Each structure stands twice: as structure tokens, then as C-alpha cells.
Amino acid sequence: MEIQLNKPVIREAVVRALSDKNKENREAEFVISTEAPDTYGTVFKISGWDLKRYENNPVVFYAHKSYSDNPDMVIGTSTVRIEDNQLVAIVRFESAEINPVAEKVFQKIQAGTLRMASIGANPKRGHWGDEKLGEDRDVIYFDEQELLEWSIVPIGSNPEALKRESQTIDEIRGIIKKENPVIEEVRTDENKEFQTFEAQLIINSNLL
């Protein structure tokens, strides 16, 4: 069954590279998404990424503070590309002269004390896994999603956030209907349209 979605999702990632050239250019490179299943049983298909909206306003925040009245929470801009079945981003930090927050974050990345990133995406379409396609029938596969923003973050998730996301996934699995009536009986609590989803995931453990 195809799933229609329209709510931001957060997935986490870690810094991939910080070479001498990166440091000179005030840059850091991150793998911000892959097709690895997350702990909540979801996969984001690399072929489904829509980057147009992000490319029109390619800002990078600190800790998703996009609604802050402090303009220094916008710490830089980035380019995003698909490479080797991964979504890769290179952030260029603003200078220390105009943004002390960007400078502090950049220094902490160089020191290795800040190394995580988190992306915000807007899933558009998805489906339960199809075994005929080599997919796991217990996993939700997002086929189309829009990149909204991504941020440098100090920590991946907290116990309260984890609890909330886990409950949301349980609700999703109870709402989405399967084509197979037997599976529907097990997984469907109510016959209603699926509308919301949130998840968090560490998708790359290759730390500095």
C-alpha cells in the first residue's frame, strides 16, 4: 500500500571528512542520509530525494534553531549531492568576524567534540516493504522526500524524544493497512488514513 506523508522528519548523521583543505576553506563534509534501515524500521530511498527546495535556500543551522531570533544560529550554507548511494553535504561556515557561533561550532568540529548532524525532511510518498523486490515487509520505505534543512547538533537524541518517536512508529504500524488481509488484521487498529510520521536515526558510525 502506498503511504502519503507530509510532515517533517529528522534523521541524524555524523561528520565524514575534515581535511586540511576543509579547514582552510572553513568546511566540513557529512554523509547525511543512506538507505540503511533505522531502528524504527524505516528506509529513505536515495533515488527519492528532492533537493530543489533546499538548493533555493541552502542554510545550515545550529541545533535546528531555525525559528530563533538570533541570526547567528544560521552558521553557514552547504552544497548537497548524491554520491555512492549516499546523500552528502559540505557545509561552509560563516567567518568568525560576523558569526561567533559559527566559529565556535567549527572549532568544536575540528576538535572532535561536535561531530553530529541532523537533517529535516518532508516525506511525500512511501510503502511497506515488498519481498518480491528484496525488501523487508516489516519496514516502511520512503520513496519521495524533500530536504528542508540540516543542522549541526551536539547530541543525537534524548530519552524523551526517543520515547515520543517510538510511540509514533507504533501508531503508524497500527494505522497503515496492508494489502494482505491477514497482515491487516495484525497491524491495523483503525481504518483511517496515515498522516504523520517522525523518526530519528544515527545513520553513519564512521566517526573521526
Write the pLDDT tens digit of every residue in 72-124: 999 999 999 999 888 889 999 999 999 999 999 999 999 988 888 777 888 88
CB of 197 closer than 8 Å to CB of 5: yes
Query: If you ran DSSP here, which 8-state letter would residue 95 be given?
Result: P
Residue 184, all three cell numbers: 491487516
- What single letter denotes the amino acid at residue 166? S
To the nearest whole number, what is the mean pLDDT of the chain?
A: 74
d(CA 25, CA 19): 10
Structure-model confidence comparison of residues 170 and 179, the more confident one: 170
> What's the distance, CA 203 to chain centroid?
9
Distance CA 187, CA 192 (A): 13
Of 87, 82, 90, 89, nearest to 26 by C-alpha is: 90
Three cell numbers, residue 88? 552528502
Per-residue pLDDT tens for 146-170?
999 988 888 753 333 333 355 555 6
